[in-house]
Structure 1
Amino acid sequence: MTSVDLARLVLLAAIWGSSFLFMRILSPALGPVIGADVRLLIAGLVLGIILAMRGDQGVYRGRARAYSIVGMVNSGLPFLLFSYAALKIPASYSSVLNALAPLFGALCLWRLDGEPLSRRKMAGIALGIAGVALMSRLGPVPMNIATLSGIGACVVATVCYGWAGVLIRRRAKAIPSLHFAMGTQLAAGLLILPFALINGVVAPPIDPYSPVVVGSAIAIGVLCSAVAYMLYFRLMASLGPTRTLSVTFIIPVFGILWAALFLGESIAPGMLVGALLVVAGTVLVLR
Structure 2
Amino acid sequence: MTGTPLAPAPARFSTRGWLLFAVMAIVWGMPYLFIKEAVDSYSPAAVVAGRTLIGAVILLPLAVHRRALRPALRLWPWVLAFGTIEMAGPFLLLGHAEQTLPSGLTGLLVATVPLFAAVIAVTRGDRGMLRPVRAGGLIVGFIGVGIIVAGPGLAVGGTTSLLAVGEVLLVAVCYAIAPFIVATKLKDVPSLGTITLSLFAVGLFYLPIGLLTQHEVPTARSTISLVALGVVCTALAFMAFFALIAEVGPARAPLFTYVNPVVAIILGTIILNEELSIGLLIGFPLVILGCWLAATGGLVARRARPGPPPLGDAEAS
Which residue of 2 is the match for residue 155 of structure 1? 169
Counterparts of 1:118-137 in structure 2 under 5 Å?
Answer: 118-120=130-132, 122-124=135-137, 126=139
Matches of 1:268 and 1:26 in 2, distance apart? 26
2: CA distance, partners of 1:5 / 1:128: 19
- Distance (Å, rounded) in 2 between the aligned partners of 1:128 and 1:8: 19
Q: Per-residue deviation at 1:246?
A: 5.7
Contact 1:101 1:159 in 2 (8 A): yes
Q: 1:144 aligns with which of 158, 165, 172?
A: 158
In the TM superposition, residue 285 of structure 1 has moved relative to its aligned partner by 3.8
| Pair 1:115 & 2:126 matched | yes
Q: Partner residue of 1:45?
A: 57
- Quick check: 1:96–1:275 contact (8 Å CA) kept in 2? no
Change (3 A) 1:192 1:36: same
Deviations 1:193-235 (A, max 9, x none): 34334323xxx1x322x32222211111011111222344456
Contact 1:32 1:84 in 2 (8 A): yes
Q: Distance in 2 between matches of 1:6 and 1:134?
A: 24
Q: Output the amino acid matched with 2:176.
A: G
Tell me the equivalent position of 2:310.
none
- Structure 2 counterpart of 1:75, from 87, 103, 126: 87
1:186 alignment partner, one of 200, 225, 231: 200
TM superposition score normalised by structure 1: 0.79
| SS of structure 2 residue aligned to 1:61 | helix
Q: What SS does structure 2 have at the residue aligned with 1:28? A: coil
Q: Which of 60, 66, 88 lines up with 2:100 in the alignment? A: 88
Match of 1:257 in 2: 266
In terms of fraction of residues, the more helix-rich structure is 1
Q: TM-score, normalised by structure 2?
A: 0.72
> Structure 2 vs 1, CA of residues 286 and 104 (structure 1 numbering), >3 Å: closer, same or farther?
farther
User: Alpha-carbon deviation of 1:6?
Assistant: 6.3
Within the alignment, does 1:223 sit opposite 2:232 as a pair? yes
Measured in 1, the distance between the counterparts of 2:148 and 2:20 equals 29
The answer on whether the counterparts of 2:53 and 2:199 sit within 8 Å (CA) in structure 1 is yes
Measure the CA separation in 2 of the matches of 1:155 and 1:57: 32
Greater mean deviation of Cα atoms: 252-261 or 115-124: 115-124
| C-alpha distance 207-98 of structure 1, shift in aligned 2 (>3 A) | same
User: Aligned pair in 2 of structure 1 residues 76, 108: CA closer, same or farther (>3 Å)?
Assistant: same
Offset, 1:29:
1.1
> Aligned pair in 2 of structure 1 residues 96, 276: CA closer, same or farther (>3 Å)?
farther
Counterpart of 1:187 in 2: which secondary structure? helix
Structure 1 residues not aligned, in runs of 5+: none
**1-side partners of 2:282 and 2:164: how far apart?**
20
Contact 1:138 1:271 in 2 (8 A): no
2:222 paired residue number:
213
Query: What is the rounded CA distance, in whole Å, between the counterparts of 2:59 and 2:262 in structure 1?
Result: 28
- Contact 1:139–1:269 (8 Å) recurs in 2: no
Give 5+ residue unaligned stretches, structure 2. 1-13, 297-317
Q: Share of identical aligned residues, percent?
A: 26
Cα 1:196–1:280 change in 2 (3 A) is farther
Cα deviation, residue 260, structure 1: 1.5
State the shift of 1:119 in Å. 4.9
Instruction: Report the counterpart of residue 305 of structure 2 in structure 1.
Output: none
Residue identity in the other structure for 2:226? A
The Cα offsets for residues 82-121 of structure 1, whole Å up to 9 and x where unpaired, read as 222322222223233333222211112223x243351535
Cα distance in 2 between the residues matched to 1:119 and 1:6: 21
Computing the radius of gyration from Cα coordinates, the structure with the larger value is 2
Match of 1:36 among 34, 37, 48: 48
| C-alpha RMSD of the superposition | 3.4
Q: Is the 8 A contact 1:140 1:266 kept in 2?
A: no
Report the CA distance shift for 1:265/1:37 in structure 2 as closer, same or farther (over 3 A): farther
Aligned length: 279
What does 1:154-173 align with in structure 2 at a 5 Å threshold? 154-173=168-187
- CA distance in structure 2 between the partners assigned to 1:163 and 1:9 by the alignment: 18
Change (3 A) 1:81 1:230: same
Residue 73 of structure 1 and its aligned partner are, at CA, apart by 0.5
Q: CA deviation at 1:25?
A: 0.5
- Native 8 Å contact 1:102 1:286 kept in 2: no
Indicate the larger mover: 89-98 or 218-227: 89-98
Letter in 1 for 2:178: A
